[in-house]
């Protein structure tokens, strides 16, 4: 008896031999290491950035090795394979450029928002209501307000530089997770219909 649990997603580079143990967790009474070492396919660059390996492809490879094995499936019926490009450290110039664009863009967005809602006049009005005096620069309100914006952003994104404040996911992380889930589901629903890998069993023969 062999139990297979397909992994949700793996990464590989073109030319990499994808083996059973990389796309599935194997539980067997014997020959587990041999089963995990069986080749399923060789990733090719022409397949693009995402493709899937179906549970039946893995079953075909294992039964070719030993037709007498009883194979059972546990979990998802396919594994998404993502093309992992070779990582390169971006030049410092591009890092500084992107950082500067984000800094200036976010700063302008905050300033435009405050101009739209007349925040300066609001602070002056609040200061007058509290003290009875007119003040064109109510710093006692503006400084804590500015600090509060920064602290609020840190708490909202749950991150201070590389350190997370707590283990809860931030709203940004949740949005990225949901976006990735949608992409994965799209790949599962549509990738196999393209048939760009042709006969998936041919690569394992």
Query: Are residues 106 and 74 located together in one domain of the fold?
Result: no
Estimate to the nearest angstrom the gap between the alpha carbon of 26 and the chain centroid: 26
pTM of the shown model: 0.60
Pairing of the two strands 9-12 and 17-19: unpaired
Per-residue pLDDT of 53-88, as tens digits, reads: 888 889 899 889 888 888 888 888 888 888 877 766
Per-residue pLDDT of 95-129, as tens digits, reads: 889 889 988 998 899 889 988 989 889 999 999 99
How many domains does one find in the chain? 2
What share of the chain in percent tops pLDDT 70? Answer: 89
CB-based contacts of 65, cutoff 8 Å, min separation 6? 34, 35, 38
Task: Go through the chain and tell me how many residues it has.
Answer: 205
Look up the CATH number of the domain holding residue 38.
Answer: 2.60.480.10
* Structure tokens that stand for 110 in this block: 């905050």
Which domain does 54 fall in, by range? Answer: 2-82
76 occurs within a structural domain: yes
Q: Which residues pair with 26 in a beta bridge?
A: 4
Give me the pLDDT at residue 125, please: 92
Query: Are residues 102 and 62 located together in one domain of the fold?
Result: no
DSSP sequence for 141-163: HHHHHHHHHHHHHHHHHTEETTE
């Amino acid at each position: 008896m062999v139990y297979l649990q397909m992994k949700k997603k793996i990464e590989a580079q073109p030319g990499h031999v994808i083996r059973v143990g990389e796309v599935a967790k194997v539980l067997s009474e014997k020959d587990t290491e041999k089963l995990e070492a069986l080749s399923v396919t060789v990733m090719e660059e022409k397949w693009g950035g995402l493709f899937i390996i179906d549970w039946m492809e893995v079953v075909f490879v294992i039964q070719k090795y030993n037709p007498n094995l009883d194979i059972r499936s546990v979990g998802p019926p396919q594994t998404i394979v993502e093309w992992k490009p070779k990582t390169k450290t971006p030049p410092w110039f591009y890092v500084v450029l992107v950082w500067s664009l984000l800094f200036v863009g976010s700063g302008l967005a905050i300033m435009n928002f405050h101009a739209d809602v007349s925040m300066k006049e609001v602070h002056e009005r609040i200061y007058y209501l509290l003290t009875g005096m007119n003040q064109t620069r109510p710093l006692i309100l503006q400084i804590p307000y500015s600090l509060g914006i920064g602290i609020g952003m840190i708490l909202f994104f749950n991150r201070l530089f590389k350190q997370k404040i707590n283990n809860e996911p931030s709203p940004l992380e949740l949005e990225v997770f949901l976006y990735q889930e949608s992409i994965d589901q799209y790949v599962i629903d549509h990738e196999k219909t393209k048939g760009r890998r042709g006969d998936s069993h041919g690569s394992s023969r």
